[in-house]
Amino acid sequence: MNEEFVSALKEIVKIKGISEDFLFNAVEDALVSAYKKNYSKISNSTHDVRVTISREDGEIHVYAQKTVVDEMFDETTEISLEEARIISARYQIDDIVEIEVTPREFGRVAAQNAKQVVIQRIKEAERNVIYNEYLEKEYDIITGVIIRKERGNVFVNLGKIEAILGPNEQIPTEAYDFNEKIKLYIVEVKKTTKGPQIVVSRTHPGLVRRLFELEVPEIFNGIVEIKGISREPGSRSKVAVYSHDENVDPMGSCVGPKGSRVQSIVNELNNEKIDIVKWSKDPEVFISNSLSPAKVCSVDILNEENKIASVVVDDGQLSLAIGKEGQNVRLAAKLTGWKIDIKSKSQITE
């Protein structure tokens, strides 16, 4: 251990962004093990030891730690009160006395043992730095670059780490071409034995929510609130919004001037259709709004406990209300939490 070694450690701390104390403590812990391994046969003071490294010049000191006792039974862990007070008159029974036992050539042994520990702890610290950095971005949007596709998975470079976009998190209509920039929603950040694992998605409703929060200032500021989202990724989404200010139109805020805000989100989602509907605490009103763009004649609550509602529309609105392959009513039901039975006026008459 010397000044060059200490300087190298401090340089690593700066470059890697890890804690200086973390690194030096790791080396000191390793040297405790090295001392016990190499000097247990020639020293009686190997039971409890402490190693210190000077942060300035790399000088090493090894201290045996012994408990002050009235009557000694184990000289490797105990020291008599009489002997302790020769060192310092302040010692009392049960105090810990540290006696320096640094071997003459311990620096060479220390250097051999420190290298491997330093490398291991640097990797560990780097993983923790990356984990904490991305943990702060959990439930947020991040931009990455597609680097390869393998066994149905899409691998994305996020800068300091790769993320895997699994098959269930991919939109079927998207190609995911090499070197393509892509926005992803961070679903979860996990700690694993191989380092941090970032779980990302293109299908999660949170992606739509965060895009609206980024695009619509009224949502970001809390004036307009997204009450719910139902989504069939790549095809269509319904977003229920509510304004906490009666002077602010929640739907108009989300649509933006000439539709610019919602269009920006549609473009990011590769032309996924988005219906923006007004939320209401009145279930009849909310159900009616949720079936947009269809116009509803009436909504009747059939069973409030089981949340079943009957909706009547004009004959010409029936197919629009149900949607292609039932998509519109399916998304409306998911958005509101109600089972919706739609009938036309003529069906009711019959």
Q: What is the assigned CATH class of domain 3-128?
A: alpha beta
Domain layout of the chain by residue ranges? 3-128, 137-201, 282-350
Bin 233: left if φ > 0, else alpha if -120 < ψ < 50, else beta.
beta
Q: Name the helix (H) or strand (E) containing 79.
A: strand 78-80
* 134, amino acid identity: Y
Identify which of 323, 319, 320, 315 has the alpha carbon closest to the alpha carbon of residue 346.
315
- 321's CB contacts (< 8 A; 6+ apart) are 291, 294, 296, 311, 313, 328, 329, 342
What tokens appear for 301 in the block? 């609550």
Instruction: Compute CA 107 distance to the chain's CA centroid, rounded to the nearest angstrom.
Output: 42
Identify which of 189, 187, 231, 263 has the alpha carbon closest to the alpha carbon of residue 331.
231
Q: What is the reported pLDDT for 15?
A: 79
Q: What is the reported pLDDT for 2?
A: 67
Helix-, strand-, coil-residue percentages of the chain, each rounded to 5? 40, 30, 30
Q: CATH number of 282-350: 2.40.50.100, 3.40.50.2300, 1.10.150.20, 3.30.300.20? A: 3.30.300.20
**Residue written as tokens 């790549």?**
234
Q: What is the reported pLDDT for 41?
A: 53
| Separation of alpha carbons 138 and 132, rounded Å | 10
**Residue written as tokens 């509510």?**
242
What tokens appear for 161 in the block? 């780490």
Q: Please answer whether residues 20 and 14 qualify as being in contact, where contact means their C-beta atoms are separated by less than 8 angstroms.
A: no
Distance spanning both ends of the chain, measured CA to CA: 94
- The alpha carbon torsion through 220, 225, 227, 228 (nearest 10 deg) reads -30
pLDDT by residue, tens only, the chain of 350 residues:
567 778 878 888 887 777 888 888 888 888 888 888 777 654 544 468 888 888 888 888 889 889 999 988 888 889 999 999 999 999 999 999 998 888 877 777 666 766 777 777 778 878 888 999 999 999 999 999 999 999 999 999 999 899 999 999 999 999 999 999 999 999 999 999 888 999 999 999 999 999 999 999 999 999 999 999 999 999 999 999 999 999 999 999 999 999 999 999 999 999 999 999 999 999 999 999 999 999 999 999 999 999 999 999 999 999 999 999 999 999 999 999 999 999 999 998 87
| Separation of alpha carbons 225 and 76, rounded Å | 68
Identify which of 271, 266, 270 has the alpha carbon closest to the alpha carbon of residue 255.
266
* 218, amino acid identity: E
Q: What is the reported pLDDT for 47?
A: 64
Collapse the DSSP code of 8 into the 3-class scheme (helix H, G, I; strand E, B; otherwise coil) and give the result: helix
Identify which of 167, 171, 170, 143 has the alpha carbon closest to the alpha carbon of residue 157.
143
Q: What is the reported pLDDT for 29?
A: 85
Q: What is the reported pLDDT for 45?
A: 46
Q: Is the pTM of this model over 0.85?
A: no
Q: What is the reported pLDDT for 28?
A: 85
Query: Could you give the residue ranges of the DSSP H alpha helices within 136-227?
Result: 205-215, 217-220
Architecture of domain 137-201: Beta Barrel (2.40)
Query: Could you give the residue ranges of the DSSP H alpha helices within the chain?
Result: 3-16, 20-39, 81-87, 106-135, 205-215, 217-220, 250-255, 260-268, 283-290, 318-322, 327-336, 345-349
